[in-house]
Amino acid sequence: MIRIDWNPVAHVGPVPINWYGLGWAAAFLTGRSLVVRWARASPISREKVEEVLLWILAGAYIGARLYYVAQNEPWFYLTHPWRIVAVWEGGLAFFGGLFGAIAAAWVYARRAKVPFLELADLVAPAIPIAAAIGRIPCGLDGMDYGTPSSLPWAVVYTNPDSYAPNDGIPRHPDQYYELVGDLLIAWILLKSRPRLPAGATFYLYLVLFSVLRFLVFFVRGNVPIVALGLKNAQLTALVILVVAAPILVSTLARSKARTAH
Q: What is the pLDDT along the chain (261 residues), one digit of tens a residue?
A: 899 999 988 877 777 778 888 888 899 999 999 999 999 888 888 889 999 999 999 998 888 888 777 776 766 666 767 666 666 555 667 888 889 999 999 999 999 999 999 999 999 999 999 999 999 999 999 988 999 999 999 999 999 999 999 999 999 999 999 999 999 999 999 999 999 999 999 999 999 999 999 999 999 998 888 888 999 889 999 999 999 999 999 999 988 877 766
- Main-chain dihedrals φ then ψ at residue 5, nearest 5 degrees: -110, 85
Confidence (pLDDT) at 157: 95
CB 44 within 8 A of CB 25: no
Nearest in space to 198 (alpha carbons), one of 116, 104, 143: 116
Q: Distance between CA 141 and CA 64 in Å, rounded?
A: 19
Confidence (pLDDT) at 97: 86
Question: Which stretch of DSSP H or E encloses residue 184?
Answer: helix 174-192
For the chain, the structural domain boundaries read: 2-44+115-187
- Alpha-helix runs per DSSP H in 72-125: 74-79, 94-112, 116-123
Q: In sequence order, which residues have a C-beta less than 8 Å from that of residue 73 and are 6 or more positions away?
A: none
Confidence (pLDDT) at 76: 67
Confidence (pLDDT) at 84: 65
